[in-house]
Structure 1
Amino acid sequence: MKKLLISTAFLGLAAVMPAKAADYIIDYKGAHASVNFKVKHLGYSWLTGRFNEFDGKFSYDDSNVAASKISITIETASVDSNHAERDKHLKTDDFLDVTKFSTATFVSTKVEDQGNGKLAITGNFTLQGITKELVIDAVKIGEGDDPWGGYRVGFSGTTAIKMSDFGYKMDFGEILFDLHIEGVRQ
């Protein structure tokens, strides 16, 4: 009888304790996420910008970070460098070729916990039909209940790609990415 009571109590406790693993949708609609970039302009200064339209999802388990996954799709025509004429040029086949390649994607293949909230997210990045492996150096910002009755977790990260690796006709070296992702638990 004692074992039955202990087992029943454990099952009841397990039923009210939330599971740590969860799926999240990136909150890009609420402007709680951003995909920013910068690249040297002719070697003289930094050109900065962002992609205004993207979406994605991720799975995150604080107790088993290696099981985490993330996928993001970026609408390349949403490039915004705060200059309409330049954006028009960025959309041509000199750079993003948005007519032929309307999206860029990132799909993780491995997530490593580096301690103190730091993560190394390895994955396949596809841009202009070319896929290369890259690593995002990320950090967990925080997580918890939001004022609307949901639950959120947020991360920031940085990575870089070589323009020459993705077939750009004009090559100014590296594009540096600054990423901010806030997810709403589903």
Structure 2
Amino acid sequence: MSVSDRFQRLRSSRGADDPPPSIEAESRAEHAARATVRGLQAGFVATLIMTAFRLPIMRSLPPSANFWAQYVSGGDPEEHPIAGLVLHVLYGVQAGALFGGLFALLDAERSIEAEQRGLVWGSVYGMALSVFGSQVMLKELLDIRLEGDELALFHAGHLVYGLALGAWVGSRTEGVRDPGKEYEYGDGN
């Protein structure tokens, strides 16, 4: 039986407009709110991990220090390390909240392997943020052009962010479980 056949069978067995079994006990708004909080937490942790990865390699502040210097306070970006780091964390937390909400809404009907899906979607999301950051934020907004090796490390940092984000959100996303079955660590979800 194909995946689409199973999906249609599931939809017809419980009604196309019914919420997935994993969130029947709570409203969609409550489910999305909890997922967004998970994303906030994940965004914070993933930003710390990305920053710890990037700082020793690139030996420079995140480009958010450039944003702060250019649009808020003036002066040299190196004069604003704390503001640049705080702004970078805020970007990461907000992006994490968005990812958490999207992951819950788009992935709510899946029941197994949330961790693996989190890693895949987190990687895609991290790279999408990286492309947006390099093309829009750096080139257009800040007029910064990274050299090839710097750009590769910029993308690598965002891939690390996406992996950490997806791992956190995926590992904390409840799947659809059979309420009458006892689960042990490692069997399914």
Q: TM-score, normalised on structure 1?
A: 0.33
Greater fraction helix: 2
> Higher relative contact order by CA 8 Å / sep ≥ 6: 1 or 2?
2
Q: TM-score, normalised on structure 2?
A: 0.32
Greater fraction strand: 1
